[in-house]
Chains A and B, each alone.
Chain A
Amino acid sequence: MLEIVIHAKDLTRRFGDFLAVDHVNFEVHAGEVVGYLGPNGSGKTTTIRMLLGLLQPSEGHATVLGFDAFTQSEQVRLRSGYMSQKFALYDDLTVQENLSFYAGVYGVHEDRRLRQTIDRVGLSGHESAMAQALAAGWRQRLALAIALVHQPRLLFLDEPTSGVDPTARRAFWDLIYELAEDGVTVLVTTHYMDEAEYCERVGIMRDGRLLAMDSPERLKADVIPGNVWEVSAEPLERALAALQAAEGVVRVGLAGDHLRTITSGGMRKPALQAALRSADVHVTGLERGSPTLEDVFLALAR
Protein backbone atom coordinates (compact mmCIF):
# COMPACT_ATOMS: atom_id res chain seq x y z
CA MET A 1 0.00 0.00 0.00
CA LEU A 2 1.50 3.29 -1.11
CA GLU A 3 1.71 6.12 1.36
CA ILE A 4 -0.80 8.86 0.66
CA VAL A 5 0.98 12.22 0.70
CA ILE A 6 -1.88 14.47 -0.36
CA HIS A 7 -5.52 13.77 0.25
CA ALA A 8 -8.08 16.37 -0.84
CA LYS A 9 -11.67 15.74 0.14
CA ASP A 10 -14.41 17.96 -1.32
CA LEU A 11 -11.92 20.81 -1.23
CA THR A 12 -13.79 24.01 -2.05
CA ARG A 13 -13.00 27.71 -2.05
CA ARG A 14 -15.28 30.62 -2.77
CA PHE A 15 -14.29 34.25 -3.28
CA GLY A 16 -17.60 36.06 -2.83
CA ASP A 17 -19.94 34.55 -5.39
CA PHE A 18 -17.07 33.10 -7.35
CA LEU A 19 -16.44 29.39 -6.93
CA ALA A 20 -12.68 29.16 -7.50
CA VAL A 21 -12.35 25.51 -6.45
CA ASP A 22 -15.42 23.33 -6.50
CA HIS A 23 -15.48 20.09 -4.43
CA VAL A 24 -12.17 18.68 -5.60
CA ASN A 25 -11.21 15.14 -4.59
CA PHE A 26 -7.87 13.47 -5.25
CA GLU A 27 -4.95 11.60 -3.75
CA VAL A 28 -1.24 11.77 -4.47
CA HIS A 29 1.07 8.93 -3.44
CA ALA A 30 4.68 9.10 -2.27
CA GLY A 31 7.20 9.51 -5.08
CA GLU A 32 4.62 10.39 -7.73
CA VAL A 33 4.97 13.20 -10.26
CA VAL A 34 1.44 14.52 -10.65
CA GLY A 35 0.41 17.32 -12.97
CA TYR A 36 -2.43 19.74 -12.47
CA LEU A 37 -3.46 20.93 -15.92
CA GLY A 38 -5.80 23.79 -16.68
CA PRO A 39 -6.06 27.23 -18.27
CA ASN A 40 -5.45 30.46 -16.35
CA GLY A 41 -8.17 31.00 -13.78
CA SER A 42 -9.23 27.35 -13.56
CA GLY A 43 -8.37 27.04 -9.85
CA LYS A 44 -4.92 25.48 -9.94
CA THR A 45 -3.13 28.06 -7.80
CA THR A 46 -6.03 28.34 -5.36
CA THR A 47 -5.86 24.57 -4.82
CA ILE A 48 -2.14 24.71 -4.09
CA ARG A 49 -2.61 27.63 -1.70
CA MET A 50 -5.15 25.59 0.25
CA LEU A 51 -2.84 22.56 0.34
CA LEU A 52 -0.12 24.81 1.77
CA GLY A 53 -2.47 26.20 4.39
CA LEU A 54 -2.24 29.72 2.99
CA LEU A 55 -5.96 29.82 2.30
CA GLN A 56 -8.75 28.36 4.36
CA PRO A 57 -11.09 26.04 2.45
CA SER A 58 -14.71 27.23 2.33
CA GLU A 59 -15.73 23.58 2.47
CA GLY A 60 -14.01 20.21 2.63
CA HIS A 61 -10.49 19.63 3.83
CA ALA A 62 -7.05 18.45 2.82
CA THR A 63 -4.47 16.28 4.53
CA VAL A 64 -0.86 16.81 3.48
CA LEU A 65 1.93 14.54 4.73
CA GLY A 66 -0.49 13.34 7.39
CA PHE A 67 -1.24 16.84 8.72
CA ASP A 68 -4.36 18.92 8.32
CA ALA A 69 -3.39 21.42 5.65
CA PHE A 70 -5.04 24.37 7.35
CA THR A 71 -4.85 23.80 11.11
CA GLN A 72 -1.36 22.25 10.98
CA SER A 73 0.01 24.28 8.11
CA GLU A 74 3.32 24.94 9.87
CA GLN A 75 4.04 21.23 10.00
CA VAL A 76 3.16 20.97 6.32
CA ARG A 77 5.35 23.90 5.30
CA LEU A 78 8.36 22.60 7.25
CA ARG A 79 8.22 19.44 5.20
CA SER A 80 7.25 20.75 1.80
CA GLY A 81 8.81 23.07 -0.75
CA TYR A 82 6.91 25.62 -2.81
CA MET A 83 8.02 27.30 -5.96
CA SER A 84 5.46 29.88 -6.97
CA GLN A 85 4.68 31.23 -10.39
CA LYS A 86 6.07 34.62 -9.45
CA PHE A 87 8.97 33.50 -7.33
CA ALA A 88 10.85 36.31 -5.67
CA LEU A 89 14.61 36.43 -5.91
CA TYR A 90 16.79 39.23 -4.59
CA ASP A 91 18.15 40.65 -7.83
CA ASP A 92 21.04 42.44 -6.11
CA LEU A 93 22.19 39.32 -4.28
CA THR A 94 24.25 36.49 -5.75
CA VAL A 95 22.98 32.94 -6.28
CA GLN A 96 24.78 31.85 -3.10
CA GLU A 97 23.43 34.78 -1.08
CA ASN A 98 19.86 34.23 -2.25
CA LEU A 99 20.04 30.59 -1.30
CA SER A 100 21.67 31.13 2.08
CA PHE A 101 19.09 33.82 2.91
CA TYR A 102 16.16 31.51 2.26
CA ALA A 103 17.96 28.56 3.88
CA GLY A 104 18.31 30.65 7.02
CA VAL A 105 14.56 31.18 7.09
CA TYR A 106 14.23 27.38 7.38
CA GLY A 107 17.02 27.19 9.95
CA VAL A 108 19.42 25.57 7.49
CA HIS A 109 22.95 26.93 7.98
CA GLU A 110 25.40 24.20 6.93
CA ASP A 111 27.53 25.13 3.93
CA ARG A 112 27.54 21.50 2.86
CA ARG A 113 23.76 21.56 2.45
CA LEU A 114 23.89 24.73 0.37
CA ARG A 115 26.57 23.24 -1.86
CA GLN A 116 24.59 20.03 -2.31
CA THR A 117 21.50 21.98 -3.28
CA ILE A 118 23.37 24.16 -5.77
CA ASP A 119 24.91 21.03 -7.23
CA ARG A 120 21.58 19.24 -7.39
CA VAL A 121 19.96 21.93 -9.57
CA GLY A 122 23.03 22.30 -11.77
CA LEU A 123 24.05 25.79 -10.64
CA SER A 124 27.61 24.86 -9.63
CA GLY A 125 30.04 27.45 -10.93
CA HIS A 126 27.37 30.17 -10.89
CA GLU A 127 27.39 30.76 -7.11
CA SER A 128 28.67 34.31 -7.36
CA ALA A 129 26.52 35.39 -10.29
CA MET A 130 24.06 38.17 -9.47
CA ALA A 131 20.47 36.96 -9.64
CA GLN A 132 19.50 39.77 -11.99
CA ALA A 133 22.09 38.63 -14.52
CA LEU A 134 20.66 35.10 -14.77
CA ALA A 135 18.73 33.93 -17.84
CA ALA A 136 15.15 32.77 -17.25
CA GLY A 137 16.14 29.11 -17.15
CA TRP A 138 18.82 29.72 -14.50
CA ARG A 139 16.55 31.89 -12.36
CA GLN A 140 14.10 29.06 -12.40
CA ARG A 141 16.76 26.65 -11.16
CA LEU A 142 17.67 29.04 -8.36
CA ALA A 143 14.03 29.27 -7.36
CA LEU A 144 13.90 25.47 -7.32
CA ALA A 145 17.06 25.36 -5.19
CA ILE A 146 15.36 27.68 -2.69
CA ALA A 147 12.34 25.38 -2.56
CA LEU A 148 14.62 22.36 -2.03
CA VAL A 149 17.20 23.59 0.45
CA HIS A 150 15.40 22.27 3.54
CA GLN A 151 15.09 18.83 1.86
CA PRO A 152 11.32 18.65 1.66
CA ARG A 153 9.55 15.37 0.99
CA LEU A 154 6.91 17.10 -1.08
CA LEU A 155 7.34 19.77 -3.70
CA PHE A 156 4.66 22.12 -5.04
CA LEU A 157 5.60 23.72 -8.33
CA ASP A 158 3.14 26.33 -9.58
CA GLU A 159 3.64 26.90 -13.32
CA PRO A 160 7.40 26.56 -12.92
CA THR A 161 8.14 26.60 -16.64
CA SER A 162 6.11 29.62 -17.78
CA GLY A 163 8.25 31.81 -19.94
CA VAL A 164 11.31 29.57 -20.19
CA ASP A 165 12.41 28.11 -23.49
CA PRO A 166 11.64 24.47 -24.40
CA THR A 167 15.24 23.36 -23.88
CA ALA A 168 15.38 24.76 -20.35
CA ARG A 169 11.91 23.33 -19.74
CA ARG A 170 13.05 19.81 -20.59
CA ALA A 171 16.18 20.17 -18.47
CA PHE A 172 13.93 21.26 -15.62
CA TRP A 173 11.79 18.14 -16.05
CA ASP A 174 14.93 16.02 -15.90
CA LEU A 175 15.56 17.56 -12.50
CA ILE A 176 12.00 16.80 -11.41
CA TYR A 177 12.44 13.14 -12.33
CA GLU A 178 15.76 12.95 -10.48
CA LEU A 179 14.02 14.29 -7.39
CA ALA A 180 11.20 11.79 -7.80
CA GLU A 181 13.75 8.96 -8.00
CA ASP A 182 14.99 10.09 -4.59
CA GLY A 183 11.48 9.74 -3.26
CA VAL A 184 10.30 13.36 -3.41
CA THR A 185 6.63 13.70 -4.32
CA VAL A 186 5.92 16.42 -6.87
CA LEU A 187 2.69 18.27 -7.65
CA VAL A 188 3.18 20.59 -10.60
CA THR A 189 0.69 22.88 -12.29
CA THR A 190 0.83 23.85 -15.94
CA HIS A 191 -1.33 25.33 -18.64
CA TYR A 192 0.75 23.70 -21.37
CA MET A 193 -1.15 20.70 -22.70
CA ASP A 194 2.00 19.13 -24.11
CA GLU A 195 3.93 19.59 -20.88
CA ALA A 196 1.33 17.61 -18.94
CA GLU A 197 2.38 14.58 -20.97
CA TYR A 198 5.56 14.46 -18.88
CA CYS A 199 3.63 13.61 -15.72
CA GLU A 200 2.85 10.16 -14.37
CA ARG A 201 -0.70 11.25 -13.63
CA VAL A 202 -2.56 14.38 -14.69
CA GLY A 203 -5.54 16.11 -13.17
CA ILE A 204 -7.57 18.23 -15.56
CA MET A 205 -9.04 21.40 -14.09
CA ARG A 206 -11.64 23.66 -15.59
CA ASP A 207 -13.79 26.32 -13.91
CA GLY A 208 -12.72 25.12 -10.47
CA ARG A 209 -13.65 21.52 -11.10
CA LEU A 210 -11.33 18.55 -11.37
CA LEU A 211 -12.74 16.83 -14.46
CA ALA A 212 -10.49 13.77 -14.36
CA MET A 213 -7.19 12.51 -12.97
CA ASP A 214 -5.23 9.63 -14.40
CA SER A 215 -2.13 8.77 -16.43
CA PRO A 216 -2.00 10.58 -19.79
CA GLU A 217 -2.40 7.28 -21.60
CA ARG A 218 -5.38 6.08 -19.62
CA LEU A 219 -7.03 9.49 -19.97
CA LYS A 220 -6.66 9.24 -23.73
CA ALA A 221 -7.88 5.65 -23.85
CA ASP A 222 -10.87 6.34 -21.60
CA VAL A 223 -11.98 9.73 -22.88
CA ILE A 224 -11.16 9.25 -26.58
CA PRO A 225 -12.47 5.74 -27.22
CA GLY A 226 -12.16 5.91 -31.01
CA ASN A 227 -9.52 6.91 -33.53
CA VAL A 228 -7.91 10.15 -34.59
CA TRP A 229 -7.53 10.81 -38.32
CA GLU A 230 -5.68 13.47 -40.27
CA VAL A 231 -7.65 14.12 -43.44
CA SER A 232 -6.37 16.08 -46.45
CA ALA A 233 -9.13 16.80 -48.93
CA GLU A 234 -10.44 19.29 -51.46
CA PRO A 235 -12.44 21.38 -51.07
CA LEU A 236 -11.78 21.54 -47.35
CA GLU A 237 -15.04 23.30 -46.42
CA ARG A 238 -17.17 20.63 -48.08
CA ALA A 239 -15.11 17.86 -46.45
CA LEU A 240 -15.67 19.52 -43.09
CA ALA A 241 -19.43 19.66 -43.65
CA ALA A 242 -19.50 16.05 -44.83
CA LEU A 243 -17.66 14.79 -41.77
CA GLN A 244 -19.74 16.90 -39.39
CA ALA A 245 -22.82 15.16 -40.79
CA ALA A 246 -21.34 11.65 -40.93
CA GLU A 247 -22.46 9.05 -38.45
CA GLY A 248 -19.60 7.86 -36.25
CA VAL A 249 -17.72 11.18 -36.35
CA VAL A 250 -17.34 12.46 -32.80
CA ARG A 251 -15.53 15.68 -33.56
CA VAL A 252 -13.98 17.33 -36.58
CA GLY A 253 -11.95 20.50 -36.79
CA LEU A 254 -9.81 22.48 -39.19
CA ALA A 255 -6.08 22.01 -38.61
CA GLY A 256 -4.35 24.46 -40.91
CA ASP A 257 -4.35 22.90 -44.36
CA HIS A 258 -6.18 19.71 -43.39
CA LEU A 259 -8.87 18.32 -41.07
CA ARG A 260 -8.42 16.48 -37.83
CA THR A 261 -11.26 14.22 -36.86
CA ILE A 262 -12.08 11.82 -34.05
CA THR A 263 -14.32 8.89 -34.91
CA SER A 264 -16.04 6.39 -32.66
CA GLY A 265 -14.28 3.08 -32.22
CA GLY A 266 -16.44 1.26 -34.76
CA MET A 267 -15.78 3.58 -37.69
CA ARG A 268 -13.17 2.23 -40.10
CA LYS A 269 -11.21 3.91 -42.87
CA PRO A 270 -13.54 2.77 -45.72
CA ALA A 271 -16.56 4.29 -43.97
CA LEU A 272 -14.70 7.57 -43.59
CA GLN A 273 -13.66 7.52 -47.25
CA ALA A 274 -17.22 6.73 -48.33
CA ALA A 275 -18.65 9.62 -46.32
CA LEU A 276 -16.20 12.01 -48.01
CA ARG A 277 -16.70 10.60 -51.51
CA SER A 278 -20.48 10.79 -51.31
CA ALA A 279 -20.11 14.55 -50.74
CA ASP A 280 -18.02 14.79 -53.92
CA VAL A 281 -14.84 15.51 -51.96
CA HIS A 282 -11.46 14.60 -53.37
CA VAL A 283 -9.43 12.89 -50.63
CA THR A 284 -5.68 13.45 -50.99
CA GLY A 285 -4.60 11.96 -47.71
CA LEU A 286 -6.10 9.94 -44.86
CA GLU A 287 -3.83 8.90 -42.02
CA ARG A 288 -4.18 7.79 -38.43
CA GLY A 289 -3.11 10.39 -35.88
CA SER A 290 -2.67 10.09 -32.14
CA PRO A 291 -4.85 11.67 -29.46
CA THR A 292 -3.43 14.49 -27.35
CA LEU A 293 -4.28 15.76 -23.89
CA GLU A 294 -5.90 18.72 -25.63
CA ASP A 295 -8.33 16.28 -27.28
CA VAL A 296 -9.02 14.87 -23.81
CA PHE A 297 -9.57 18.35 -22.40
CA LEU A 298 -11.93 19.32 -25.23
CA ALA A 299 -13.91 16.09 -24.88
CA LEU A 300 -14.26 16.53 -21.11
CA ALA A 301 -15.11 20.23 -21.33
CA ARG A 302 -17.86 20.00 -23.94
Chain B
Amino acid sequence: MDKKTVTTISYLSRLKIDDEKEQKIINDLSNIIEFVDQLNDVDTSEIDPLANPLEKTAKTRKDIVTAKNLKKKLLEVAPSANEDYFLVPRVVE
Protein backbone atom coordinates (compact mmCIF):
# COMPACT_ATOMS: atom_id res chain seq x y z
CA MET B 1 0.00 0.00 0.00
CA ASP B 2 1.62 3.22 -1.12
CA LYS B 3 0.67 6.67 -2.31
CA LYS B 4 0.12 5.47 -5.87
CA THR B 5 -2.20 2.64 -4.82
CA VAL B 6 -4.22 4.95 -2.58
CA THR B 7 -4.54 7.42 -5.45
CA THR B 8 -5.86 4.65 -7.70
CA ILE B 9 -8.37 3.22 -5.24
CA SER B 10 -9.60 6.64 -4.17
CA TYR B 11 -10.22 7.40 -7.85
CA LEU B 12 -12.11 4.09 -8.24
CA SER B 13 -14.11 4.97 -5.11
CA ARG B 14 -14.80 8.54 -6.28
CA LEU B 15 -13.39 9.87 -3.02
CA LYS B 16 -10.96 12.73 -2.61
CA ILE B 17 -8.32 12.24 0.07
CA ASP B 18 -7.14 15.44 1.72
CA ASP B 19 -3.36 15.85 1.62
CA GLU B 20 -3.05 16.10 5.39
CA LYS B 21 -5.02 12.88 5.88
CA GLU B 22 -3.23 10.92 3.19
CA GLN B 23 -0.41 9.48 5.29
CA LYS B 24 -2.81 8.39 8.03
CA ILE B 25 -4.99 6.64 5.45
CA ILE B 26 -2.00 4.90 3.87
CA ASN B 27 -0.97 3.66 7.34
CA ASP B 28 -4.49 2.51 8.30
CA LEU B 29 -5.03 0.69 5.02
CA SER B 30 -1.58 -0.95 5.24
CA ASN B 31 -2.36 -2.19 8.75
CA ILE B 32 -5.75 -3.55 7.70
CA ILE B 33 -4.30 -5.32 4.68
CA GLU B 34 -1.51 -6.76 6.82
CA PHE B 35 -4.16 -7.94 9.30
CA VAL B 36 -6.24 -9.70 6.64
CA ASP B 37 -3.10 -11.22 5.10
CA GLN B 38 -3.29 -13.95 7.79
CA LEU B 39 -5.92 -15.54 5.53
CA ASN B 40 -2.97 -16.69 3.39
CA ASP B 41 -1.93 -19.10 6.14
CA VAL B 42 -4.81 -21.40 5.17
CA ASP B 43 -4.71 -23.74 2.21
CA THR B 44 -7.91 -23.14 0.26
CA SER B 45 -6.83 -24.61 -3.08
CA GLU B 46 -9.70 -27.14 -3.15
CA ILE B 47 -12.35 -24.91 -1.58
CA ASP B 48 -15.22 -23.31 -3.50
CA PRO B 49 -15.85 -19.68 -2.58
CA LEU B 50 -18.97 -19.01 -0.48
CA ALA B 51 -20.60 -15.75 -1.57
CA ASN B 52 -23.80 -16.04 0.41
CA PRO B 53 -24.73 -18.27 3.35
CA LEU B 54 -27.89 -19.51 1.61
CA GLU B 55 -26.00 -20.64 -1.49
CA LYS B 56 -29.13 -20.19 -3.50
CA THR B 57 -29.44 -18.33 -6.71
CA ALA B 58 -31.93 -15.53 -6.83
CA LYS B 59 -35.48 -16.79 -6.93
CA THR B 60 -37.75 -15.79 -9.75
CA ARG B 61 -41.32 -14.73 -9.21
CA LYS B 62 -44.33 -14.73 -11.48
CA ASP B 63 -44.13 -12.19 -14.26
CA ILE B 64 -46.75 -9.88 -12.86
CA VAL B 65 -46.29 -6.13 -12.54
CA THR B 66 -46.26 -5.33 -8.82
CA ALA B 67 -44.23 -2.13 -8.81
CA LYS B 68 -46.08 1.10 -8.27
CA ASN B 69 -45.14 4.09 -10.34
CA LEU B 70 -43.18 6.17 -7.86
CA LYS B 71 -41.73 8.56 -10.44
CA LYS B 72 -43.21 11.70 -8.95
CA LYS B 73 -42.32 10.73 -5.38
CA LEU B 74 -38.77 9.75 -6.37
CA LEU B 75 -38.15 12.94 -8.32
CA GLU B 76 -39.42 14.92 -5.34
CA VAL B 77 -36.63 13.62 -3.10
CA ALA B 78 -33.91 14.24 -5.68
CA PRO B 79 -31.50 17.11 -5.02
CA SER B 80 -32.36 18.57 -8.43
CA ALA B 81 -35.02 17.46 -10.91
CA ASN B 82 -37.58 18.68 -13.39
CA GLU B 83 -40.88 16.93 -14.10
CA ASP B 84 -39.27 14.01 -15.88
CA TYR B 85 -35.57 13.80 -15.09
CA PHE B 86 -32.88 14.08 -12.46
CA LEU B 87 -30.78 17.14 -13.23
CA VAL B 88 -26.97 17.14 -13.17
CA PRO B 89 -24.29 19.52 -14.47
CA ARG B 90 -24.09 19.60 -18.26
CA VAL B 91 -22.17 16.61 -19.67
CA VAL B 92 -22.36 17.41 -23.39
CA GLU B 93 -21.21 20.78 -24.67
Co-assembled chains A and B: no
Residues of B within 8 A of A (CB): none
Residues of A within 8 A of B (CB): none
